[in-house]
Amino acid sequence: MKFRTAIIILLGSLTLASAEPLQTSGPYLAQGKSKFLGSVYSSRDSYNEDFEFYWNGMWQGNSGKWGSVEGVRDYMNWGEFDQAYNFAKEHGVIYQMHVLLWGNQQPNWIYNLSDEEQLAEIREWFQAVADRYPDMDYVQVVNEPVNDPPDGTSGSDSGNYAKALGGTGETGFDWIINAFRLAREIFPGTPLMINEYNVEGDWSKALQYVKIINKLKEEGLIDAVGIQGHAFSTAYYSVHELTTNLDYIASTGLPIMVTEMEIDGLDDQVQLAEYQRVFPIYWEHPAVIGINLSGHRVGNWRTEYGAYIANEDDSPRPAFIWLRHYVQSYEDWFNFDVTDNWAATNWLGGPLYVPYTPWIWSNQMGWVYVQADSENPQGAWTWIPR
């Protein structure tokens, strides 16, 4: 697995230019930062123009979904999947595979197979992805388990294979646990993720999501948590509500990735104000390790709602200018020197230990996750005085 050191973040000053051209070279926006900032890699080349000049994180939209790859049984169309993966490897971009299992955009042919056949096909699909893409940074095992499970209730492309994976079972979601068990077997060295929407502000959805996550965590089956961050999941909730839910999901102790964020706004100033309201909630949170957008150019998802931040004439919208300056001015002011599995500190009467795991992050308030000793895996968010 790939891990990062713990970092405490301090927000620096921000100067917003009135007009700036799009970049034609690096550095990317989060260059030198403790978190990555990425975007979707589209199957349409024009939507990816200047990707490497801005983004150091990636998810690949529809091209990694099972229905896109194996629309015809046993015929694998890897073309667009290859393109995204190879681009990420060439440019050193953090690559998040989206997605192994979902209740949408699944092969129609699997719907009416027997449970045994479905399970065999799921294993075959997992293994094919693992064999072809051995160096993925993260793999989304299940997408939208709360809102859109593959139980066959949302159409012919909804998979209908949850029962083959164990159905609801004793936990109410045995199929998710078994999917992650299989993924851990087939992707033993790759961090595994779950992903969901409307958990950002809907408290009941967040409760269900955390219950699933904690059960997966009990077996060591999950390494990171995805929240999608779509405009329809954030626009109707207050900063307090969004922060409360984010804190609750962070209480799992796992790193969080915002996987598909966009901010709507056909009016420039409306979009700018919403970026300034919503984006810092996630960027400044100690548990969030990175944010991926749903695309910055016209033509990507929710274009009709003004979610793009670069105009067709290549001029950046005010939200894009603000985003560039905000991220680049958000300064790291302390780094733990983690050279082995444990890093000793002398704070709070130490030594304390900061485990070298992907969920050790801290924010501008001076909080850091620490453990009393290397033998005891239980830790707590602890105030570290400046």
- CATH number of the domain that residue 250 is part of: 3.20.20.80
Q: Is residue 348 part of a domain?
A: no
What is the structure's pLDDT at 183?
98
Q: Is residue 54 part of a domain?
A: yes
The two tokens of residue 33 are 């930062």
379: which strand partners? 371
Into how many domains does the chain fold? 1
Pick from 89, 88, 94, 95: which is nearest to 35 by CA? 94
The two tokens of residue 99 are 């997605």
3-state DSSP call for residue 57?
strand
Q: Is residue 354 part of a domain?
A: no
What is the structure's pLDDT at 298?
82
H or E element in which residue 97 lies: strand 94-97
Q: What is the pTM of this model?
A: 0.82
Rounded to an integer, what distance in angstroms lies between the CA atom of residue 99 and that of residue 36? Answer: 20
Rounded to an integer, what distance in angstroms lies between the CA atom of residue 126 and that of residue 100? Answer: 7
Distances in whole angstroms, Cα of residue 245 to Cα of each of 107, 227, 257, 281? 34, 11, 14, 11
Residue by residue, DSSP assigns 153-202 as TT-TTS---TGGGT-STTTT-HHHHHHHHHHHHHSTTS-EEEEESSTTT-
Pick from 62, 66, 36: which is nearest to 127 by CA? 66
Chunk the chain into consecutive blocks of 10 residues (it has 386) and report each block's average pLDDT, rounded to whole numbers: 33 40 68 91 73 88 94 96 94 95 97 98 98 97 97 94 98 98 97 98 98 98 97 96 97 96 96 96 95 88 89 90 91 41 36 37 40 47 40
Q: Is residue 292 part of a domain?
A: yes
Contact 331, 347 (CB under 8 A): no
What is the structure's pLDDT at 15?
36
Q: Is residue 351 part of a domain?
A: no
Contact 321, 16 (CB under 8 A): yes
Q: Is residue 343 part of a domain?
A: no
Look-up of token digits 């990171």: 224
Distances in whole angstroms, Cα of residue 248 to Cα of each of 99, 204, 208, 245, 358? 24, 12, 11, 5, 18
Q: Is residue 19 part of a domain?
A: no
Look-up of token digits 């548990």: 287
Domain that holds residue 311: 25-331
